[in-house]
Structure 1
Amino acid sequence: MLYQIFIDPFAQMVDMPDFLIQVVWEGFVAGILYALIALGFVLIFKASGVFNFAQGIMVVFAGLTLVGLHEAGVPAFLALILAIGVMALLAVAVERFVMRPLVNQPEIILLMSTIGMTYFLIGFGEFVFGGEPKQMITEELGLPTGSTAFEIGEQGLVILQHIDIAAAVIAIIMVASLALFFNKTRIGRALRAVADDHQAAQSVGISLNQIWAIVWFAAGIVALATGIMWGARSDVSFALEIVALKALPVLILGGFTSIPGAIVGGLIIGIGEKIGEIYWGPLVGGGIESWLAYMIALVFLLFRPQGLFGERIIERV
């Protein structure tokens, strides 16, 4: 048994390096998409100090909006623009009817409000778009399809899906853009000020209403990009909300306020769960991919609860 746990998986990696590369690539792509979902959580948390439980359903809702508009006869790129407009309207509605009435309330109240938003968007989305899975308009948006195969050694073969490569490139661009936005722009600095202290930010003339609308819109754009990429790899359905919960261990690893942490945490979870499922999963009957991420997060909570890039909070009494 010890041989099967500690030696055999590594022997398989050495014997079949091409298969190991394929597994790592699949985990890398999954990790990039987890990181995109986590980015939406980070944006909201940095601006309001509350965990946005609705980010997962926002991914689904944005994807369904895009596909639903196209099915109604709207050209693909016009549907994309209109979907961005819908996420902007959602951001304004959240600020006006949820965030503004609850300003300076305890964080648990804001958390409960995002849970309420989740179920509202689920019901509204099913009412408007139905509950059936929908196919993402990948080709209509100009996203690449097909695959490229690379030979590794004499008989090894690694296959890369073009949509996975596009997803990785788009995610990297979005992460870099958001990092620059937060660190180099006036609005980004205002967002960080609001996250540190609402009342202090208001005292120096920063509008909470404007900042919250902007950050929810940014989270909506991230949700739309994530919905497109996840939908291109599978169908767009409400089951994606469950996938979005993988952002929780990603945030625990990377830190709730760190954009670089979201990408690093996503890669750790994505690659870790793929390798665990392939090489150690058969020892327990498979299926560990669904819970391994949470076990990794639990270990981090025990030894570094602020995450790899999170800020250590020290209270002096």
Structure 2
Amino acid sequence: MIALGQFLEVLIGGLMSGVLYSLVALGFVLIFKASGVFNYAQGAMVLLAGLALVRALDLLVANGLPLWVAVVVAIGFAAVIMAATAWLIERFVIGPLVNQDGLTLFMSTIGVTFVIEGAAEMIFGSDVYPLRLFPTDAWFLFEGLFPGGILVNKLDVWGALIAGVLVAGLAVFFQRTKTGRALRAVADDHLAAHSVGIPISWIWFVVWLVAGLVALVAATVWGTKLGVQFSITFLALKALPVLIIGGLTSIPGAIVGGLIVGAGEKLAEVYLGPSIGGGIEYWFAYVLALAVLLLRPQGLFGERIIERI
């Protein structure tokens, strides 16, 4: 029973951590699904959203606003910052590069990453800012079944609930709304979509805006978990195995990929780590991603790309 309890605790903790990875991966999927651009700047967007949120919240609380009012206003301010960022990226980076090849667009997002990081440091500073929007203590469940119970972090549960709501909302947005259908049309063929009257610049602004808002949601959870700091930008690298496993074009795939990565790395660290020296948690996800690439390059839920000549 003790061994089973430990296994369940590690498994549940891994699944919950994987959901947090999925929150970052969703931003990648949104932009790639709608524009074919692999947005390396998604991690920097999470950083910018988190810094805007926490600095606005600190300022409002210091000026005597009730906490719940300060939270609402700070989230609104951060959303405006992300909207402005989306407009600037579309207007000055993606728009002028329309119809360029994928490598050119990818390199442009690397440049955007450094611009966002530099601007964020100049405006908000480079300190580590604590953020406490969600509880960070834990529950001990099933104490009657397992000695000491199974520890479940409340923040991870909040992250799972938020990810579930996001996926449901994005699925409805893409499938049921006129703008969502236009996004899918632009993703299939930019020129054909433009020829039937779909405004490409507006559609790309919308998708970058939605990705920015998803980054804001991810920042609230990851900022609470780690503090808002510049190392958050490296979440982009942690999301890569999630994207490869789930598929670059699948929103549900981002969640499933995150669950697989989170559970796999935690179980590997606990049960395989002691026999091979530890540290397996940091690279195991990339081994899983490599295996998926070899067996199914488009990912578990990705769309098979067929090129006709």
Match of 1:279 in 2: 271
Give yes or no for the alignment of 1:213 onto 2:205: yes
Give yes or no for the alignment of 1:16 onto 2:3: yes
TM-aligned CA deviation for residue 154 of structure 1 = 4.9
Tell me, yes or no, if the aligned pair for 1:46 and 1:257 is still in contact at 8 Å: yes
Match of 1:177 in 2: 169
Tell me, yes or no, if the aligned pair for 2:2 and 2:146 is still in contact at 8 Å: no
Unaligned runs of 5+ in 2: 62-69
Work out which of the residue numbers 218, 221, 226 in structure 2 matches 1:226: 218
- Which region of structure 1 is more displaced relative to structure 2, 206-215 or 244-253? 244-253
CA RMSD, 1 decimal: 1.4
C-alpha distance in 2, partners of 1:311/1:226? 25
Give yes or no for the alignment of 1:251 onto 2:252: no
C-alpha distance in 2, partners of 1:309/1:111? 22
Work out which of the residue numbers 100, 109, 133 in structure 1 matches 2:104: 109
Q: Secondary structure at the match of 2:96?
A: coil
- The 5 Å alignment of 1:250-269 reads 250-269=242-261
Match of 2:123 in 1: 128
TM-aligned CA deviation for residue 145 of structure 1 = 4.5
Give yes or no for the alignment of 1:68 onto 2:68: no
Q: Quick one: which amino acid aligns to residue 239 of structure 1?
A: S
Work out which of the residue numbers 184, 198, 203 in structure 1 matches 2:195: 203
TM-score, normalization: structure 1? 0.91
Give yes or no for the alignment of 1:92 onto 2:67: no
Identity of matched residues, %: 53
Task: Give a deviation string over 1:255-281, Cα, whole Å, max 9, x none.
Answer: 110011111111000110010111101
C-alpha distance in 1, partners of 2:199/2:135? 42
C-alpha distance in 1, partners of 2:93/2:186? 17
Task: Give a deviation string over 1:3-37, Cα, whole Å, max 9, x none.
Answer: xxxxxxxxxxx751111111112111111111111
C-alpha distance in 2, partners of 1:88/1:242? 22
- Which region of structure 1 is more displaced relative to structure 2, 110-119 or 15-24? 15-24
Match of 1:147 in 2: 138
Match of 1:236 in 2: 228
Task: Give a deviation string over 1:56-115, Cα, whole Å, max 9, x none.
Answer: 111111111101112223622211111011101111111111111111111111111100
> Which stretches of structure 1, 4 residues or longer, exceed 6 Å deviation after superposition?
none
Q: How many residue pairs align between the two structures?
A: 300
Unaligned runs of 5+ in 1: 1-13
C-alpha distance in 1, partners of 2:136/2:39? 33
Q: Secondary structure at the match of 2:151?
A: strand
